[in-house]
Amino acid sequence: MATELKNLSSYDSTKIANGKGRRIGIVYAEWNEEITYALRDGAVNTLVENGVDEQDIHLASVPGSFELIFGASQMVKSGKYDAVIAIGCVIRGDTPHFDYICEGVTAGLSKLNVEYDTPVIFGLITTNNLLQAQERSGGRLGNKGDECAVTALQMIAQFK
Ligand code: RBF
Q: How far is CA 34 from the centre of its chain?
A: 15
Find the 138 Cα to ligand 1 centroid distance in Å.
Answer: 22
Q: How many domains does the chain have?
A: 1
> What residue owns the CA closest to ligand 1's atom 18?
64
Identify whether 85 is part of a domain.
yes
Q: Which of 40, 65, 100, 132 to mutate to test the pocket of ligand 1 (most atoms within 8 A of CB)?
A: 65
Identify whether 96 is part of a domain.
yes
| Ligand 1 neighbourhood includes 32 CB (under 6 angstroms) | yes
Q: Is 58 a catalytic residue?
A: no
What are the per-10-residue average pLDDT scores of the chain (160 residues)? 58 84 98 98 98 98 98 98 98 88 97 98 97 96 97 95
The CA distance from 127 to 130, in Å, is 7
| Ligand 1 neighbourhood includes 63 CB (under 6 angstroms) | yes
| Ligand 1 neighbourhood includes 66 CB (under 6 angstroms) | yes
Cβ(144)–Cβ(136) below 8 Å: yes
Say which CATH number the domain at 27 has: 3.40.50.960
> What residue owns the CA closest to ligand 1's atom 5?
90
Nearest residue to 22 (alpha-carbon basis) of 69, 71, 84: 84
Identify whether 119 is part of a domain.
yes
Find the 39 Cα to ligand 1 centroid distance in Å.
Answer: 18
Angle between helix axes 68-78 and 97-115 (nearest 10 degrees) is 10
Confidence (pLDDT) at 1: 45
The CA distance from 65 to 46, in Å, is 22
Identify whether 55 is part of a domain.
yes
Find the 64 Cα to ligand 1 centroid distance in Å.
Answer: 5
Range of the structural domain that residue 120 is part of: 21-159
Identify whether 31 is part of a domain.
yes
Identify whether 13 is part of a domain.
no
Identify whether 10 is part of a domain.
no
| Ligand 1 neighbourhood includes 65 CB (under 6 angstroms) | yes
Identify whether 48 is part of a domain.
yes
